[in-house]
Amino acid sequence: MDYIKIRFGGDFDEISSKFEKTIEDMFRSIGPAFTLAERTWRPPMDINETPEEIVIKAEIAGVDKDDLEVEISNKAVKIYGNRIAKSCGDNATYRLAEIQYGRFERILFLPAPIDPEIVSATYINGFLQIRMAKLPLEKTHKIPISDG
């Protein structure tokens, strides 16, 4: 059985990531030569939540499983990897090029805390699916108040 690499880590820096993305998008609108870092693409993803679990589904067709990484913290999931472009031939000319290649990264902040011990990931037909068990909600206890 093959496994998808999942690493458990600390918090991801949300503010830094958003700031860098905003600045890069601003410069990219001026022209593609003004990007701050290596160009990345953002695969589409869905997050579904049930009372028991959170499920993330990522559309990443053409990405080899060995070029795919998943990191999970108590608040977020980071999915990143690389889709390698295939050559269309020495004497071929592109007439349309919409498929994005290269490095990609997404950080998804979870709507509820998860149990990092109960996580599974599958990669079938170009879709990565990550299932994470939610931590049970804290139970409340009545505290007796004494006189005095």
pTM: 0.68
Domain span at residue 15?
6-85+100-134
Looking up residue 41, the CATH number of its domain turns out to be: 2.60.40.790
Higher pLDDT, 57 or 29: 57
Q: For the purposes of burial, counting CB atoms within 10 Å of the CB of 75, is it exposed (0-12), middle (13-18) or buried (19 or more)?
A: middle
Within a domain: 113: yes
Within a domain: 144: no
Within a domain: 90: no
pLDDT tens profile 65-107: 999 999 998 789 999 999 998 888 888 888 888 899 999 999 9
Distance of alpha carbon 9 from alpha carbon 11, whole angstroms: 7
pLDDT tens profile 96-137: 888 999 999 999 999 999 988 899 999 999 999 999 999 887
Query: Taking a C-beta distance cutoff of 8 angstroms, is the pair 115, 135 a contact?
Result: yes
Partnered with residue 78 across adjacent β-strands are 71, 107
Residue 47 has pLDDT above 90, yes or no: yes
Distance of alpha carbon 85 from alpha carbon 99, whole angstroms: 9
How many structural domains are present in the chain? 1
The per-residue pLDDT for 108 is 95
